[in-house]
Structure 1
Amino acid sequence: MFNLSTLLEDGARSAPEKECLVFGDTRLNYAITDMIANQVANLLVSRGIEPGDRVALASPNLPYFPFVYFGALKAGAVVVPLNVLLTPREIAYHLEDSGAKALLSFTGSPELPLGDRAFEAFGQVDTCEFFIDMPAAAGATESTIEGAETIWAALNGQPGTFETVQRDGDDTAVIIYTSGTTGRPKGAELSHTNLMMNAVVSSGLVNPHPDGRDVSLVVLPLFHIFGQTVMLNAVLYRHGTMVLLPRFEGGQALELMQKEGVTGFAGVPTMYWGLLNSARSAEAGEYDLEQIADNVVDAVSGGSALPAQLAEDFTKLFGVGIKEGYGLSETSPVASFNNPNTGAKTGSIGRPVWGVEMKLIDPEWNEVVKEGEEDPVGEIAVRGHLIMKGYHNRPETNAEVIKNGWFRTGDVARRDDDGFYFIIDRSKDMIIRGGFNVYPREVEEVLMTHEAISLAAVVGVPHETHGEEIKAFVILKEGAETTAEDLTAFARERLAAYKYPRQIELRDELPMTSTGKILKRELREG
C-alpha cells in the first residue's frame, strides 16, 4: 500500500520547519503546507469524494496547486491537472472524458479569467458535482464568480489532520492529458509508483550545492508532467524549497534567482533563451550575475531540442552545463538523460535513466539493430517503471502503443555505439511550441468548423524563440471569402493560446499523394 502524498508528508515529519513554498511574500514551511493539504483532503471527503474519484485542478504555479494536488491524493482521489490556457470547450471535454467529480480552479485575472472559463465549462458537464474557486486574494471568503464558493470559505472549520487513504502502487494517481494524432486529447493514467519512481530517479540526477542548500525556481507549469515530476515531486523528495513563478519572464526569473539564492533551474529552451537575453540587456548592476552563477549548480532542459549555441552561451555566462532529458507524458516523463557529469554528447537526448530500457523498433515492433557502419535508426520504444498504465478509456489505442511492457513513443531516433540516442524525426507530426505539445489534427478539426473552409492542413515551421510556430494551409469553399486574419481570430476563440495558428496561408490546392494524403513535409519545406 502506498500513496504519492508521502512526498509531502515525509517532509512534514522530517523537516517541519524547512521552507517548502515561497511565493512573493508568502513563505510556508513543510508542516503548514501539509496541514493545508490535510484540510483539502477533509473538504473533499466531506463533499463525497471517494477513493478513485477524479478531481480536476486548474491552477498556475501558486501554492494552491500543491495544496489541492496532495490533498486530493491523500483522499485517495485521482488528480486531473488542467492547462490554464484551455478554453471552456476544451475544459468541458477534459471534465467529461476523465469523469471528474469536482473542479477546483484559480480565479485568474481580468487578462486571463481562468475561473470564469472553468465555471462556464463546469456548468456544461452534468457529472461534475461541485466547483470551488481559488481566489487571487489569499483568504478571500467571497468569490468574484457569481454562484461559486471560495476554497477559504470551504476550508473553514476543516481539521488540519487527516489519515491518508492508502492505495496500491499501481492505482492511478494522476491523469495527464496529452494530444494525439486523432485530434482529441487522451488521458495518460500515471500510477503512484510511476510518479514516485520518476521523482526519485530525477532527484538523483541533480547536482547538490556545496553548502547543502536546495532551492529551485519553479517556472515550468506544474500542470505539465515535466514540471510536476522534475520540480514539484523531486524537490519534495529531497526536502528542498520551491520558489514559485506563475509565468516566465526573464528579468523576473533572474531577480528571484538572485533574491532567493536559487540553486536549481529547469526549463524549456526558450526559457534559457529568455534568461540570456534578459541578462545581456540588463543595465549595469541590475543583476549580480556572478552571485547568481555561484548559486546555480543545476540546470535541466527538456520539452524540445536545445540548440547547441544556446547551451554554450548559457554555460559561458552562468558557469553551469545544461543537462538535457527526454520523455513524454506517457513516461512520467523522464526516460533518458544527457548528463555532463557522466558524459554527454551535443544534440543527444542521452541514455536511459536507472531502471529504464530503450530500443529502436520498426513499424511491426521488430528491434532495429546495427548493420555495417551506419548507426541503427528506428522508432524509440521504452520499458520500465515509468510507463503509464494506459490511456483512460482507450483500450484500442493502448493495444497499439503498448506491447509486452514496451511503449512506442512515435519518435524516430538513431543510436550511436556509446548508447546515446539522437532524435531525428517525430513521426506523429507533433509540433512543440515553446515547450507545449500541439498536434495538428486537433487544430485542423477546429478550423474545419469554419463555414468558409473546405480543407486545412497544419504543420510546424521553425521559429527563433518558440522552437516551432503553428502554420495552417487552408483551401476555401468555392465562392467563400475570408481573410487569414479572420481565420486566426476564429481559431483563437476556440483553442488555447499556445495552440492556435499565428500563420495562415490561403491556397487553391495542397500537395497530395495519389491516395489523397496531404504531403505535410512539402508544406513544411515550403
Structure 2
Amino acid sequence: MGEDTRLWYQHYPEEIATSIDYDEKPLHEILQDTTKKYPKLQALHFMGKELTFQQLWIQTERVAGYLQSLGLKKGDRVAIMLPNSPQSVIGYYAAMMAGATVVQTNPLYTERELEYQLKDSGAKMIICLDVLFPRVKKVKERTDLEHIIVTGIKDYLPFPKNLAYPFIQKKEYGKFEKPLHGSYGGHVHQWVHLLKESIRNVEKVEVNPKEDIALLQYTGGTTGYPKGVMLTHFNLVANTQMSQQWIYKIKQGEDITLGVLPFFHVYGMTAVMNLSIMMATKMILIPQFHAEDILKIIEKEKPTLFPGAPTIYIGLLNHPKLKDYDISSIKACISGSAPLPVEVQEKFEKETGGKLVEGYGLTESSPITHANLLWDKRVNGSIGLPWPDTDAKIFDSAENMEEMEIGEVGELAVKGPQVMKGYWNRPEETEKVLKDGWLFTGDMGYMDEEGFFYIVDRKKDMIIAGGYNIYPREVEEVLYEHEAIQEVTVAGIPDPYRGETVKAYVVLKEGSNVTEEQLNKFCRKSLAAYKVPRIYEFRDELPKTAVGKILRRQLIEEEKAKQENQQSV
C-alpha cells in the first residue's frame, strides 16, 4: 500500500509524526537516559514511599550485578512474579541489563500454570513475592529454576506501614506467611540482603536490539496452551516511542502516571512502565485494584495520565462515593484490553474533564497498533487510527490474503516495528499468523472511508446462529446502554436447533432491577430479532483476567460442561 493511500494520515495533527526515527538501543538504556537527564526527579511513588530516578538506577545496577554473580548469562530467562511495586520495575530492567530475557508471570497463577510457564520458557531464575514463595518452591524441582529471589511488599513501605503490612497481606492473600528474616543461603536469596551486599559491578552485555529477545510475554491461552511471544528490545522501544508521540500534550518530566494496570500484562508494561520511564513521569504504583483506594489516590496525588481497561473505569464510575472525590486532574486515558463501551467513555470524560479514548493492540504487537486521537478527530465505537509506521489492512483470510474493500468485514492484519519476532519454540504457530511481515490478529473488522478502523469481534468469538453471523460486541454495546447494567458479556452457547444461540451474562448496578422480558424488549428496539439474546443469566460478577478483561471463553466452557452433565444424568 503506497503512503498516499493510507487514509488515516489525513487526521494526524502536526504534533504526531507519521514516521519516527527509532532509538536502536537496549530497552534498559531508556532508564539510563532518563536518569542522566532527571536524576533528582521522583520516579516511583509506592504507598507513601518515593524513589528518585537516581535511586532507581542505582538499585537496578545492584540487582543486575547480583544476577550476573549468580551465573546469569546472555539470553537466560528470568521470571518476574510480582504485583506493581518498586521491585517489579527494578527487577525488569535489571534482568535486561544483566543480559537476560524477562518472563512476566502472573502472581495469581496456580502451581500448574506456573510450572507450565517456567518449563516452557526454561527460566533459570525467578523474582517472586514472599507470599508466593511456597508455590514457587513446590514447582522448582520440576523446572530449570536454579535461583529464587524473594521480596515482600513491606520492603519498600515507609514506617509504620512496613510493620502493619503483614496483617494487611493476610487479608489480601487469605493466608499469613511469616516475614522472612536473615539470608536463606543456597538457591534462595532475599531482596533486601542482595541490595545491601551487591555492588554496582555490572558487566556490560552487547545487545542487538532488533534480534535479541527482551521479553517472553505469554498470551492468555484462550486456545490451547499459552504461547511465549518473543518481543525484541527494538519492538518494545519502538512501541514506547509511538506511545510518546500519541500523547503529545503530556510533558516530559512534568506529568504523573497512575499505574493501575499490572506490569505483568503487556499493556501495563508498555503504556505505564516503559512509557513513564521514557517520559520521566512519576509512576504511582498500585499493587491491587480497589475502587475507593484509587479515588483517594487520584484526589491526593493528582495523576494526569491514566491508562486503563474498561472494567477499571466502570468500577470507578459505579462506586457509590465517586462524587466525594476530586478526580479532575486526569488529562488523558487510553483504554485497552477490551472494547470500550461508548456510555462509559462519555460518563468518564464528564466526571474527569479529561479525554478517554479506545485503543487496540495485542501481545504479539508489543501491544499497541491503533488508537483514537485524544485531542483531535475521533470516532466513538472505533479503535481509531493506525499508529506511526504501522500499516493495517483488512484481508479475507491469512490463506488467500485478498484485500477487502472499504467497509467490508474481514480479518485485520498489521505490520510495523512493534510486531513480534514469533512464538517461542513454535515455528508452525508463528507461520500461521505471520505472513510476509503481516501479523494476522484473529480479529474481524473493517476500515471506513476516512481510515478509521472498527473491530466487530474476535474471529473465534463470532456466533453462528441459524446460519447468521452475530458479533457479540454489537449486542454488548446495546445492552450497555441500559441504565441498570454495570457489566455484560455475550457468548454463543451450543443449541440443538440453531447450532448456537445468544446468551447474555449480566451484572446489574447496585440497587437496580430488571427482568429478562424488559431486556428483551430493550434489545429488540436496536437489534435484528436473530441477534437478540435468547437467554440471560444474572451474576454478581464476571470472571476476568488480571487486567480486567472478561473471560468469555470460560463462561462458554462452563456452559458446555453444564449441558454435558445434564445429558449424562
Q: Offset of 1:508 from its aligned partner? A: 4.9
Between the aligned partners of 1:70 and 1:116, the Cα distance in structure 2 is: 25
- In structure 2, the CA distance between the partners of 1:182 and 1:258, relative to structure 1 (3 Å rule), is closer
Between the aligned partners of 1:119 and 1:11, the Cα distance in structure 2 is: 37
- In structure 2, the CA distance between the partners of 1:460 and 1:217, relative to structure 1 (3 Å rule), is farther
Question: Which residue of 1 is the match for residue 155 of structure 2?
Answer: 138
**Do structure 1's residue 22 and structure 2's residue 45 form an aligned pair?**
yes
- In structure 2, the CA distance between the partners of 1:361 and 1:501, relative to structure 1 (3 Å rule), is closer
**Residue 205 of structure 2: SS of its match in structure 1?**
coil
Question: Which residue of 2 is the match for residue 187 of structure 1?
Answer: 228
Question: Which residue of 2 is the match for residue 452 of structure 1?
Answer: none
Structure 2: gaps spanning 5 or more residues: 1-23, 157-178, 463-471, 474-488, 492-499, 510-542
Between the aligned partners of 2:450 and 2:268, the Cα distance in structure 1 is: 29
Using the size of structure 1 for normalisation, the TM-score is 0.78
Between the aligned partners of 2:337 and 2:566, the Cα distance in structure 1 is: 30
Q: Offset of 1:169 from its aligned partner? A: 1.1
Checking the alignment, whether the CA contact within 8 Å between 1:135 and 1:143 is kept in structure 2 is: no
Question: Which residue of 1 is the match for residue 218 of structure 2?
Answer: 177
**Do structure 1's residue 241 and structure 2's residue 264 form an aligned pair?**
no
**Residue 90 of structure 1: SS of its match in structure 2?**
helix
Q: Offset of 1:421 from its aligned partner? A: 1.1
Letter in 1 for 2:396: D
Between the aligned partners of 1:98 and 1:332, the Cα distance in structure 2 is: 18
**Do structure 1's residue 403 and structure 2's residue 438 form an aligned pair?**
no
Q: Offset of 1:203 from its aligned partner? A: 1.6
Between the aligned partners of 1:204 and 1:185, the Cα distance in structure 2 is: 32
**Do structure 1's residue 40 and structure 2's residue 81 form an aligned pair?**
no
Letter in 1 for 2:196: N
Between the aligned partners of 2:90 and 2:252, the Cα distance in structure 1 is: 29
Checking the alignment, whether the CA contact within 8 Å between 2:183 and 2:189 is kept in structure 1 is: no
Question: Which residue of 2 is the match for residue 122 of structure 1?
Answer: 140
**Do structure 1's residue 307 and structure 2's residue 341 form an aligned pair?**
yes
- In structure 2, the CA distance between the partners of 1:509 and 1:137, relative to structure 1 (3 Å rule), is closer
Deviations 1:112-147 (A, max 9, x none): xx232222222321x211111112331776279998
Question: Which residue of 2 is the match for residue 507 of structure 1?
Answer: 563
- Map 1:451-470 onto structure 2 (within 5 A): 462-464=505-507
**Do structure 1's residue 205 and structure 2's residue 205 form an aligned pair?**
no
Letter in 2 for 1:117: R
Structure 1: gaps spanning 5 or more residues: 109-113, 433-437, 441-456, 467-490, 512-526
**Do structure 1's residue 256 and structure 2's residue 313 form an aligned pair?**
no
Checking the alignment, whether the CA contact within 8 Å between 1:207 and 1:297 is kept in structure 2 is: no
**Do structure 1's residue 316 and structure 2's residue 350 form an aligned pair?**
yes
Checking the alignment, whether the CA contact within 8 Å between 2:183 and 2:190 is kept in structure 1 is: no
Deviations 1:202-233 (A, max 9, x none): 12212535897310110000000000000000
Question: Which residue of 1 is the match for residue 112 of structure 2?
Answer: 89
**Residue 188 of structure 1: SS of its match in structure 2?**
strand
Of 12, 22, 30, the residue aligned with 2:35 is 12
- In structure 2, the CA distance between the partners of 1:283 and 1:12, relative to structure 1 (3 Å rule), is closer
Q: Offset of 1:11 from its aligned partner? A: 1.5
Checking the alignment, whether the CA contact within 8 Å between 1:203 and 1:230 is kept in structure 2 is: no
Between the aligned partners of 1:509 and 1:64, the Cα distance in structure 2 is: 46
- In structure 2, the CA distance between the partners of 1:365 and 1:211, relative to structure 1 (3 Å rule), is closer
**Residue 283 of structure 2: SS of its match in structure 1?**
strand
Between the aligned partners of 1:396 and 1:249, the Cα distance in structure 2 is: 42
Q: Offset of 1:166 from its aligned partner? A: 2.8
Checking the alignment, whether the CA contact within 8 Å between 2:338 and 2:549 is kept in structure 1 is: no
**Do structure 1's residue 381 and structure 2's residue 413 form an aligned pair?**
yes
Between the aligned partners of 2:39 and 2:338, the Cα distance in structure 1 is: 37
**Residue 37 of structure 1: SS of its match in structure 2?**
helix
**Residue 218 of structure 2: SS of its match in structure 1?**
strand
Letter in 1 for 2:206: Q
Letter in 1 for 2:139: A
Q: Offset of 1:339 from its aligned partner? A: 1.4
Between the aligned partners of 2:566 and 2:436, the Cα distance in structure 1 is: 40
Using the size of structure 2 for normalisation, the TM-score is 0.73
**Do structure 1's residue 228 and structure 2's residue 269 form an aligned pair?**
yes
Question: Which residue of 2 is the match for residue 475 of structure 1?
Answer: none
Between Structure 1 and Structure 2, how many residues are aligned? 447
Q: Offset of 1:161 from its aligned partner? A: 5.2
Q: State the percentage of identical aligned residues.
A: 34
Letter in 2 for 1:119: K
**Do structure 1's residue 160 and structure 2's residue 178 form an aligned pair?**
no
Checking the alignment, whether the CA contact within 8 Å between 2:85 and 2:153 is kept in structure 1 is: no
Question: Which residue of 2 is the match for residue 476 of structure 1?
Answer: none
Between the aligned partners of 2:458 and 2:287, the Cα distance in structure 1 is: 30
Question: Which residue of 1 is the match for residue 390 of structure 2?
Answer: 356
- In structure 2, the CA distance between the partners of 1:322 and 1:283, relative to structure 1 (3 Å rule), is closer
Between the aligned partners of 2:435 and 2:38, the Cα distance in structure 1 is: 42
- In structure 2, the CA distance between the partners of 1:248 and 1:65, relative to structure 1 (3 Å rule), is same
Between the aligned partners of 1:399 and 1:30, the Cα distance in structure 2 is: 41
Of 313, 317, 332, the residue aligned with 1:276 is 317
Between the aligned partners of 1:179 and 1:45, the Cα distance in structure 2 is: 31
Checking the alignment, whether the CA contact within 8 Å between 2:60 and 2:94 is kept in structure 1 is: yes
Checking the alignment, whether the CA contact within 8 Å between 1:359 and 1:367 is kept in structure 2 is: no
- In structure 2, the CA distance between the partners of 1:205 and 1:330, relative to structure 1 (3 Å rule), is same
Runs of 4 or more, structure 1, over 6 Å off, are 143-147, 496-500
**Residue 259 of structure 1: SS of its match in structure 2?**
helix
Q: Offset of 1:148 from its aligned partner? A: 3.8
Question: Which residue of 2 is the match for residue 367 of structure 1?
Answer: 402
- Map 1:100-115 onto structure 2 (within 5 A): 100-108=123-131, 114-115=132-133
Question: Which residue of 1 is the match for residue 10 of structure 2?
Answer: none
Deviations 1:236-288 (A, max 9, x none): 1111110001111111111111111211101100111112122xx2287x42x
Letter in 2 for 1:134: T
Checking the alignment, whether the CA contact within 8 Å between 1:143 and 1:149 is kept in structure 2 is: no
Of 430, 453, 457, the residue aligned with 1:421 is 453
Of 204, 216, 219, the residue aligned with 2:260 is 219
Checking the alignment, whether the CA contact within 8 Å between 2:415 and 2:437 is kept in structure 1 is: yes
